[in-house]
Chains A and B, each alone.
Chain A
Amino acid sequence: DTEVTQTPKHLVMGMTNKKSLKCEQHMGHRAMYWYKQKAKKPPELMFVYSYEKLSINESVPSRFSPECPNSSLLNLHLHALQPEDSALYLCASSPTTSGGGLEQFFGPGTRLTVL
């Protein structure tokens, strides 16, 4: 299984809602990533987990809260988002975070709209 899955595919939420994005991989990868991508722009890294520990937080606002319950699963909890947070949220995984183990496999993304 060489796939990263993300649910839901689409999400519309109000500014006062609480929702979660889910990402799963069964490739035995030990690194997982959250990215935010605006249309026709490159992905912007938000968080990196390595061996289930948060290793990078790119100064993301606290209304985004990541969680890595186990090595296969990554969540992104959303609360009190702003309309400018509307974007495609991508999850990725890689065998490790270094050297030849870096190749990142991306999921299809969750298209988030904040009203």
Chain B
Amino acid sequence: AQTVTQSQPEMSVQEAETVTLSCTYDTSESNYYLFWYKQPPSRQMILVIRQEAYKQQNATENRFSVNFQKAAKSFSLKISDSQLGDTAMYFCAFYAGGTSYGKLTFGQGTILTVHP
């Protein structure tokens, strides 16, 4: 079974600064996908960024980038130039493929607050 661990229940950052959210996972699978989802207060969950395990290059989406360390089973999210709209709960999620039939394994989440 897969596990996903987010060790930072809450974090805060000043507007325009950079923050990194941690995520580690445990799996015996060789082919898998990793995701960061964002859930703003009272708003719907959206995908921030995804990483295919077979790709060595770290994924980037505008101000969001990941540091994917496959050997260490680490998948951290860096948010640059933080904005007030980045305030949200962030979930790291893992998908093993194969016979998982779409089942995502989520971490416990990190509540990020961006202060003006």
Contact = CB atoms under 8 A, between A and B. Distances in A.
Nearest to A109: B44
Contact of A106 (B44, B102, B107, B108): B44
B102 A42 contact: no
Interface range for B: 20 to 34
A50 B95 CA distance: 16
B98 to A, nearest CB: 8
Contacts of B47: 103-105
Interface string A11-41: 0000000000000000000010100000011
Contact of A45 (B50, B104, B108): B104
Contacts of B95: 102
Interface in A48-91: 48, 50, 55-56, 90
B91 A42 contact: yes
Nearest to B43: A108
5 contacts: A43-B45, A55-B101, A56-B103, A102-B95, A104-B102
Interface of B: 33, 35, 37, 43-47, 50, 52, 89, 91, 95, 97, 100-104, 106-109, 111
Interface of A: 31, 33, 40-43, 45, 48, 50, 55-56, 90, 94, 96-100, 102-109
